[in-house]
């Protein structure tokens, strides 16, 4: 490293123990560009009595550097429901995650650093669409993925995530459900239950790009590689992989099985975050970036805590019904 300004040198000194967590995946010269923001965010969290919830797809300097709670969509919803002490909850993730945290914490300030951090699944369906589905399939319960707007959740009976979808579908005790909006998730879940599932045509723009041919190529190029896929991938991709599960299930699998070589068919930052903790595992990286998740940066997290922007709001007439759908999901356990 060349000569650094004294302020950066001091920030590097202050954040050295945090850097130790990501040393394996972030070079020291790159950490020098993060250190001042990390130091400022640590200070701002104390001043604001704020906590940061980060999804597994956040970059390592956020995920390991400044987050207090990390996890998949289910863990973030559960932890948001449990949160009792913080005045401010900042969601390092996408908008539907912040909205879910707000539903579960109506009296607290919930921040999203960039309101443009959306999701192709959440965009694929509206509350009007759900009302039409209810008319078309009277009496069939509607199970809605958390990757949706609060307005869509409000029209649903119960929410689910990729981590609990089978349990949620089976908890209803009915022969048939509508599951929306992710067609591939619904098709993958249908293979694990006797409940008939009516699907919608939404797709995750990240996971829909993986193909079964990709998997055959990885196996050829990287002998012995273990392939883990997210259930938002097309069914033929899940069928060609060795294990499929939510981001948290994939992380647990790597920790438990300690494969010598693994490829995670999901968003790119997952491999970086897991590699930071499992330095003995080789990660093969043909990953896909989520442009929405990548809208969150250390700089806009810092600005968000400084200015309390952007506070998430949900209209009262939607919030009550949407909260019920999320709370029903959490109650399934």
Residue 258 burial (C-beta neighbours within 10 Å; 0-12, 13-18, 19+): exposed
Please give the span between the terminal C-alpha atoms of the chain, in angstroms, as a whole number.
49
In the region spanning residues 70 to 99, those forming contacts with ligand SF4, defined by CB under 6 A, are 94
Cβ(73)–Cβ(55) below 8 Å: yes
Helix (H) or strand (E) holding 307, with range, is helix 298-307
For residue 176, the minimal CB distance to ligand 13P (Å) is 24
Partner touching 120 among ligand SF4, ligand 13P, none, CB below 5 to 8 Å by kind: ligand SF4
Partner touching 214 among ligand SF4, ligand 13P, none, CB below 5 to 8 Å by kind: none
Partner touching 246 among ligand SF4, ligand 13P, none, CB below 5 to 8 Å by kind: ligand 13P
Residue with smaller CB distance to ligand 13P, 11 or 244 = 244
Partner touching 234 among ligand 13P, ligand SF4, none, CB below 5 to 8 Å by kind: none
> 257, 288, 292, 256: which is closest to 271 by C-alpha?
288
> 213, 270, 308: which is closest to 71 by C-alpha?
270
Partner touching 56 among ligand SF4, ligand 13P, none, CB below 5 to 8 Å by kind: ligand 13P
Specify the residue for token string 């956040």: 58
User: DSSP per residue over 66-120, as a string?
Assistant: T-SEEE-HHHHHHHHHH--S-SEEEEES-HHHHHHHHHH-TTSEEE-S-TT---H
Interface with ligand SF4, residue 123, by CB under 6 A: no
Residue with smaller CB distance to ligand SF4, 156 or 269 = 269
> 118, 99, 123: which is closest to 110 by C-alpha?
99
Helix (H) or strand (E) holding 240, with range, is helix 235-240
Out of 101, 204, 233, 326, the only residue in the binding site for ligand SF4 (CB under 6 A) is: 204
Residue with smaller CB distance to ligand SF4, 78 or 292 = 292
Out of 195, 206, 270, 314, the only residue in the binding site for ligand SF4 (CB under 6 A) is: 206
Partner touching 73 among ligand 13P, ligand SF4, none, CB below 5 to 8 Å by kind: ligand 13P
Distance, in Å, from the CA atom of 251 to the CA atom of 299, rounded to the nearest integer, reads 27
Out of 56, 120, 149, 271, the only residue in the binding site for ligand SF4 (CB under 6 A) is: 120
Give the binding site for ligand 13P (CB under 6 A).
Answer: 56, 72-74, 147, 161-163, 204, 232, 246-247
Interface with ligand SF4, residue 267, by CB under 6 A: yes
By the criterion CB under 6 A, which residues form the site for ligand SF4?
Answer: 94, 119-121, 147, 204-206, 232, 267, 290, 292-293
């Amino acid at each position: 490293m060349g000569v650094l300004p004294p302020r950066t040198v001091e920030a590097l000194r202050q954040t050295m123990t945090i850097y130790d967590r990501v040393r394996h995946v972030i070079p020291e010269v790159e950490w020098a560009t993060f250190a001042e923001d990390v130091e400022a965010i640590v200070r701002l969290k104390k001043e604001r009595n704020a906590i940061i919830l980060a999804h597994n797809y956040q970059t390592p300097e956020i995920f390991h550097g400044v987050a207090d709670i990390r996890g998949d969509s289910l863990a973030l919803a559960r932890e948001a429901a449990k949160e009792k002490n913080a005045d401010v909850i900042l969601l390092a993730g996408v908008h539907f995650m912040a909205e879910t945290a707000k539903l579960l914490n109506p009296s607290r300030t919930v921040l999203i650093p960039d309101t443009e951090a959306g999701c192709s699944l959440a965009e694929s369906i509206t509350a009007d669409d759900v009302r039409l589905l209810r008319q078309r399939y009277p009496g069939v319960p509607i199970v809605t993925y958390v990757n949706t707007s609060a307005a869509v959740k409000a029209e649903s009976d119960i929410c689910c995530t990729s981590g609990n979808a089978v349990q949620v579908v089976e908890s209803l005790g009915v022969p048939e459900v509508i599951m929306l909006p992710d067609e591939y998730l619904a098709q993958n879940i249908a293979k694990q239950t006797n409940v008939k599932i009516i699907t919608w045509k939404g797709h995750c723009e990240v996971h829909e790009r993986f193909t079964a041919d990709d998997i055959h190529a990885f196996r050829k190029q990287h002998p012995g590689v273990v392939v883990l896929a997210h259930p938002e991938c097309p069914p033929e991709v899940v069928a060609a992989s060795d294990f499929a599960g939510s981001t948290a299930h994939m992380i647990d699998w790597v920790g438990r099985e300690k494969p010598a070589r693994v490829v995670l068919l999901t968003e790119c930052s997952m491999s970086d975050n897991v590699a930071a903790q499992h330095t003995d595992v080789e990660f093969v990286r043909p990953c896909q970036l989520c442009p929405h998740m990548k809208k969150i940066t250390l700089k806009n997290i810092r600005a968000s805590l400084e200015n309390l922007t952007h506070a998430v709001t949900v209209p009262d007439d939607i919030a009550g019904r949407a909260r019920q759908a999320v709370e029903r999901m959490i109650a399934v356990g």
